[in-house]
Amino acid sequence: MTDATDTTDATDTTDASGRGRTAVLAGLGTFVPPRVVTNEELSRTMDTSDEWIRTRTGITQRHWADPGTATGDLAVAAGERALKSAGSGEVDLVVLATTTPDHPCPATAPEVAFRLGLEGVPAYDVAAVCSGFVYGLASAAGAIAAGIAERVLVIGAETYSTILDPQDRTTSVIFGDGAGAVVLRAGDPTEPGALLGYDLGSDGSLKDLIIVPGGGSRQRSAAAAADAPEPDPADAYFAMQGKSVFRHAVTRMAASSQAMLERAGWAADSVDRFVGHQANVRILHAVADQLGMARDRTVVNLDRVGNTSAASIPLALSDAVADGLITPGDRVLMSAFGGGVTWGSTALVWPDVTPY
C-alpha cells in the first residue's frame, strides 16, 4: 500500500496500577548556529533576490553552521538546553530526528547521548525528513506507553547547509540549520502537556519529490555494474520538486491536522496556536484556510530561521513561547509534511514549561 494513514491513540494506555500513562512535555531547548545568512547575501552569489525569496516563501534569513560543525553538535547544544528546561538531566531514551546525520553509519543519536552524559541509554535516529520531529514524538510516546522509558529526550537537528547545492536557487534559499529538543516524561493524559494522540502517514510513490539521489545503497549497487555510468556529483545534493511538494504539503497537512483535531475533540476555531512545519508562509496560511482557522493563529518563525526540517517545529514552539504567543493553557496543534513523502500531527495543551 502506498498511501497509508495511521491514526494512533497513545493516550489511553494504562499501567499495572490501572493509571493512565502518556507522554507529557516537560522541557524544551533550542540552538541555532550563530552565522546568519541573509537573502541579500545569497543574492550576491546566485540569481535570486530578497524580494523573490520574501514574497514566495516568507523567509528573510536563515542560520548556517560554519564548516566543522555537524548535526550532532547542534543536537547536543539543544539537548543540553532541553534537559535544563526540564530541571533534570535524567532520561532513559534518546530519539534524534534528522535528514542530515553525522555519518551514513552509525546513527547520530548514540554519540549525542554519550556527549550529554547519558551513557548506556538506548539511542536511535528517526528518518522522516521534515516530519521527523512528530514521528520522533510518537515513537518516544510509544516507548513511554509501553513502559520501555519514563523520560525521553526527543531532538530534531539538521545541517541542511551541508547537502545544498550552492548553485541551486530553488533549494539553497529555503533551508536553514538548527536544532530543537523536548523532554517527554510519563504522566497522566489529563495533565497540561500531555500529547493527545497522533496522526501519521506516508506515500512512498512520491519519494522522488524530495530526494538526495546519491550516497545510498541504490546508487552504490548500480555503480558496481560493469557498464554503470559515472555518478553525477550533483547526486550528493538535496533536490526538490517545489511546486508539487507545495500542493501535497497543503493537502496532507490540512487532512492530518483535521484528523488530529477530531482525535483531540477540538474544533478548529478553538485552537489557540497552529504550529505547522515552517516550509513556506503561503503553505501555512493555505492549511489554516482549509481548516477554517484564522491565519493569525498560525505561528511563523521561518522568516528568521528558514526551513529547518526536523528542527522546525520545536524551534517554532520555542520562539512562539518567547514571543508570548503561546502561554500555559493554550491549545496547540502541530503538523508537519516532508520527504518520503511523510506527514504527521499531534496536539497538546501547553504546560508551564520555560524554553531555553
Q: Using CB under 6 A, list all residues that contact ligand ACO.
A: 48, 52-53, 56-57, 129-130, 169-170, 173, 210, 240, 242-243, 245-246, 249, 279-280, 283, 309, 338-339
Burial class (CB in 10 A: 0-12, 13-18, 19+), 247: middle
CB nearer to ligand ACO: give 140 or 173.
Answer: 173
Please report how close the Cβ of residue 182 comes to ligand ACO at its closest, in angstroms.
Answer: 20
Q: Which residue is nearest to ligand ACO (CB)?
A: 242
HEC-encoded secondary structure of the chain: CCCEEEEECCCCCECCCCCECEEEEEEEEEECCCCEEEHHHHHHHCCCCHHHHHHHHCCCEEECCCCCCCHHHHHHHHHHHHHHHHCCCCCCEEEEECCCCCCCCCCCHHHHHHHCCCCCCCEEEECCHHHHHHHHHHHHHHHHHCCCCCEEEEEEEECHHHCCCCCCHHHHCCECCEEEEEEEEEECCCCCCECCCEEEEECHHHHHHEECCCCCHHHHHHHCCCCCCCCCHHHHCCEECHHHHHHHHHHHHHHHHHHHHHHHCCCHHHCCEEEECCCCHHHHHHHHHHHCCCHHHECCCHHHHCECHHHHHHHHHHHHHHCCCCCCCCEEEEEEEECCCEEEEEEEECCCCCCC
Among residues 194 and 305, whose Cβ is nearest to ligand ACO?
305
Pick between residue 163 and residue 191 the one whose CB is nearest to ligand ACO: 163
- Which residue is catalytic, options 63, 277, 280, 285? 277
Q: Which is nearer to ligand ACO, 7 or 244 (CB)?
A: 244
307: annotated active-site residue: yes
Q: Which is nearer to ligand ACO, 54 or 84 (CB)?
A: 54
Rounded to whole angstroms, what are the CA distances from 295 to 149, 243, 299?
38, 22, 9
Tell the smallest beta-carbon distance from residue 55 to ligand ACO (Å).
Answer: 9
Could you tell me the smallest distance in angstroms from the CB atom of residue 307 to ligand ACO?
6
The active-site residue out of 39, 280, 301, 307 is 307
Nearer to ligand ACO, 187 or 339 (CB): 339
Give me the least distance between CB of 183 and ligand ACO, in Å please: 25
Q: Name the minimum Å distance from CB 251 to ligand ACO.
A: 12
> Is position 105 annotated as part of the catalytic site?
no
Q: Is 205 left (phi over 0), alpha (psi -120 to 50) or beta?
A: alpha
State in angstroms the smallest separation of the CB of 336 from ligand ACO: 9
CB of 31 to ligand ACO, least distance (A): 20
Considering 63, 130, 280, 301, which one is annotated as catalytic? 130
Q: Quick check: 278 and 301 in contact, CB under 8 A?
A: yes
Distance from C-alpha of 40 to C-alpha of 61, rounded to nearest angstrom = 9
Distance CA 229, CA 293 (A): 51
Which lies closer to ligand ACO via its Cβ, residue 114 or residue 246? Answer: 246
Name the residues annotated as catalytic.
130, 277, 307
